Structure 1
Amino acid sequence: MNVAVIGGGFSGILAAYLLEKKGINVTVYEKEEYIGGHCKTIVNKDFYIELGTILSFTKGIKELLIELNVDYSERFIYRNFVDENYHPAEHMLRDDVVILVSELSRLKTILEKYSPYLDEINFGDIPEDLMIPFNKFLEKHDLRFISQIIVPHLSSFGFGCIDNINSYYVFKVFNVNTLYSFISGEKLLFINKGTSELIKKLSQKISDIRYSLQVTNVEVVEDKVKVETPYSLDFFDKVLITTKLPRGVIKDKLYNNLMKKIDTNPFIACAYEVSNPDLVTTYYKSHLGLTGKIQFFYASKQNNKIILVAYAYGLIEKDIIDGITNDIKKLGININHLITVKQWYIFPHLKSTNLTRSFYKDISERQKVSNICLIGSLVSKPSIDNLYLSVKNSIDEIIRNK
């Protein structure tokens, strides 16, 4: 069996690793000159700076890290909030927290009837009640304070504004247990040498990775799948697609329809060297969900060097970068210099105008009979822990049916 994996991000490299472990021939196509996607770590001497995927709540992914001998640590993250005047602000007032606890209990009851839909690892059939924008869902159920817990993380993880994001997506990403994890401040998992170390260890087990090759055509020809690039043509028994492809590349009406409708959020990461020693993760309350505004920053210290990484929605423009820099300085932070600026496109999803209740279910049904499959964040929530489980399940299914 020969399998092609299109996209060399975490999902693609993990899929190739798991397939090759089972003795299946795998070819990975990556359009960039490097692999890893959002698992992007830059190194300054012995300092590891994470620009994309930062952390994970899950205990599940530990098995992969242990298997690959990747060093990790678990630690608490302390969070600050600042208001529109750049003054320290409470996340929530004490009296509001009491109401929040009551709302969480009520939310748990509300969502119980949707658990068959929300507990699935991948996206699937969508209940009618969850097709509405998240702010409308909160209004409908008179949930006034839950947004104060969700919004900072919704924004900082790049999922957008509660006025625009579909309730189904929100509750697939932030279920009640996850919300309680935020409130209780559970330890988070960090890879000591950055997520690029995980990609490196996975790629060392993969025989055929092709770099800087943009796939231009994916087409079923009899019982094989033709994969073309500007410079090559190959045939495979199965093709796994992990990333959004340009319109018309996939010669399959249903899959191409997804590629036409799928959207992402442009997101910017800026890394600075600073001289303030006691910084903690800080959210800008008045900016959350707004385009062109810093959402939050986190800082880390290693070997007497402090690096701050800030995130904002939007496309890279000098005015936006200047605004991020100024918003950091207004907190009294001394910036030594800017290290890098990185453009990301994150959270593949469908806007409410394009999303139908059966969209993902139709994709899932198609994949049962097609030798072209979509995996990773195209069909599952884009957290590294969930992607691990999702891709693992997809590969197990392929192995069973080969």
Structure 2
Amino acid sequence: MRIGIIGAGMTGLTAAYHLSKAGHEVIIYEHAPFIGGHASTFTVQGTLLERGYHHLFTSDIDIQDLVEDLGIPDVLEWIPSSVGIYAKGSIYSLNSPIDLLKLTPLNLFNRLRLGFVLKYLQTQKDWMKYDHITAVEWLKSKLGNQAYQMLWEPLLLAKFGSTLYEKVPMAWIWGKLNTRVKSRKSGASGELLGYPNGSFETILDKLTKHLNQNKVAINLDTPVTKITQAEDSITVEVNNDSHNFDKVLSTVSNDVLLALAPQLQDSPLYTEQLNQVSYLSAVVEILVLSEPISNVYWLNIADSAFPFLGIIEHTNLIPPEKYNGKHIAYITNYVSTDHPIFNMDEKELLETYIPFVKLINPEFQTSWIQESFHFKIGRAQPVMGINYSQNVPSHESPITNLYVANTAQIYPEDRGTNYSVRMGKDVALQMMRS
């Protein structure tokens, strides 16, 4: 078969790998000047670094299978991690049950209650029972007002914003907690996280070499403008030219897909399923520092006054020596495109963020900033409502031979590199079967 793929992120690249390995002709179209999507890299202090913070969990078996299949099974390094939360003016560790008992902004009863509820969630295998209820409703009822208002409400508000946070199903929380729990080594106080030696570019580079060997054409800076289904083929329009394929895989977000394939409007149910997902964009500010902000890798912010939701200090996971002794921190946000944060330039963003960084570490000085980088990643976070399991769009669209695989079809897990790899393989197998 001759197959076109729209998007050179991990889903599209993985699908291309399996399709081309089976002997099919594959052509990829990517609107950006680089491959890898969220896992794409750039150079910092002479070393490659992801535009968006990335790591793997020990339970991420799909990408582990992929790197083994690519012939680089030892590329992943597994490193003890640390998680913390900033609340009521202090940083609290969240690496073990004992740490919960030290979370003094909560009274003792609510600390114990929080621990029991989290332990209960970790033992639950049936996530479907959390699909019909919002996270807000479930957490309030099980944790009480103090723990909800002090911890969870600020976290949900920061992650999803005031217009969407009350929609999020409890199944999403279940997915996040279970992913992290599975990455805890037995008997350890924290979790092990994986990171490829040489950055995720090591995996992307090896994957690209295999695609080149399989004669896959990767067209960068090449946005697709339309998808049309004809009698015996499906057509992709690029640069005012039409290209015919036996099958096409789209990995773009739902709203972009609807704009590219107007024929989908002839299928109201599928269109409704696509439209039910909202999207937030990622705003990422990367600071290259002479000193660390904290000693925590993943610092959640449980304070609604803060203009960002977390700080991920990459060099609290990967040694600073990899980056000429510098410390690298991602300050992260998910916002709508009409939010003031999204529309700030880097100077405005730093002026907004730095006073709050100083609240976390009063010794922080702007002179610590050696370099900074500012990225916006559109439609980075899909947001689903309750009962979404009954309305996940199928990979096989109503347009004959048009297949869809994007982050809105990853559920109840949150979107992530491993799940993109899994989905790319699954949809490739489905395309070859049908």
TM bin, normalised by shorter chain, reads: 0.7 to 0.9
Could you list the per-position Cα deviations for residues 14-35 of structure 1 after superposition, in whole angstroms to 9, with x for gaps in the alignment? 1111111111111111111211
- Structure 2 Cα separation of the partners of residues 391 and 328 of structure 1: 38
- Structure 2 Cα separation of the partners of residues 164 and 347 of structure 1: 19
Matches within 5 A, 1:3-402: 3-57=3-57, 58-60=59-61, 61-70=63-72, 71-85=75-89, 87-89=90-92, 91=94, 92-94=100-102, 95=108, 96-107=110-121, 112=125, 114-115=126-127, 117=128, 130-141=131-142, 163-167=165-169, 169-171=171-173, 173-174=175-176, 176=178, 178-179=180-181, 181=183, 184-206=189-211, 207-244=216-253, 245=256, 247-250=258-261, 251-253=263-265, 254=267, 255-276=270-291, 279-281=295-297, 283-287=299-303, 292-300=307-315, 301=320, 302=322, 303-314=324-335, 315-318=342-345, 319-330=348-359, 331=361, 332-334=363-365, 335-352=368-385, 358-360=390-392, 363-364=393-394, 367=397, 370-380=400-410, 381-401=414-434
- Structure 1 Cα separation of the partners of residues 71 and 151 of structure 2: 35
After the TM superposition, which of the residue ranges 244-253 and 214-223 deviates more from structure 2? Answer: 244-253
For the 8 Å contact 2:101–2:112, the answer to whether it is kept is no
Matching residue of 1:123: none
Detail structure 1 runs of 4+ shifted over 6 Å in the superposition. Answer: 146-156
After the TM superposition, which of the residue ranges 270-279 and 214-223 deviates more from structure 2? Answer: 270-279
Q: Equivalent residue of 1:38, what SS? A: helix
Could you list the per-position Cα deviations for residues 17-70 of structure 1 after superposition, in whole angstroms to 9, with x for gaps in the alignment? 111111111111111121111012221353332221410113412222233344
Q: Percent identity?
A: 18
For the 8 Å contact 1:217–1:227, the answer to whether it is kept is yes
For the 8 Å contact 1:155–1:295, the answer to whether it is kept is no
The size of the alignment, in residue pairs, is 382
1:175 and 1:84, CA in 2 relative to 1: closer, same or farther beyond 3 A?
Answer: closer
Deviation at 1:89, TM superposition (A): 3.7
1:352 and 1:80, CA in 2 relative to 1: closer, same or farther beyond 3 A?
Answer: closer
Could you list the per-position Cα deviations for residues 288-327 of structure 1 after superposition, in whole angstroms to 9, with x for gaps in the alignment? 6x78424223131124222222212331414333222332
For the 8 Å contact 2:29–2:219, the answer to whether it is kept is yes
- Structure 2 Cα separation of the partners of residues 148 and 178 of structure 1: 22
Q: Could you list the runs of 5+ residues in structure 1 that have no partner in the other structure?
A: 118-126
- Structure 1 Cα separation of the partners of residues 204 and 149 of structure 2: 34
AA aligned to 2:195 is F
- Structure 2 Cα separation of the partners of residues 107 and 304 of structure 1: 40
Q: TM-score, normalised by structure 2?
A: 0.76
Q: TM-score, normalised by structure 1?
A: 0.81
For the 8 Å contact 1:49–1:307, the answer to whether it is kept is no
Q: Could you list the runs of 5+ residues in structure 2 that have no partner in the other structure?
A: 95-99, 103-107, 336-341
For the 8 Å contact 1:11–1:375, the answer to whether it is kept is yes
Deviation at 1:149, TM superposition (A): 8.4
Deviation at 1:264, TM superposition (A): 1.5
- Structure 2 Cα separation of the partners of residues 200 and 326 of structure 1: 39
Q: CA RMSD in A?
A: 3.4
For the 8 Å contact 2:13–2:424, the answer to whether it is kept is no
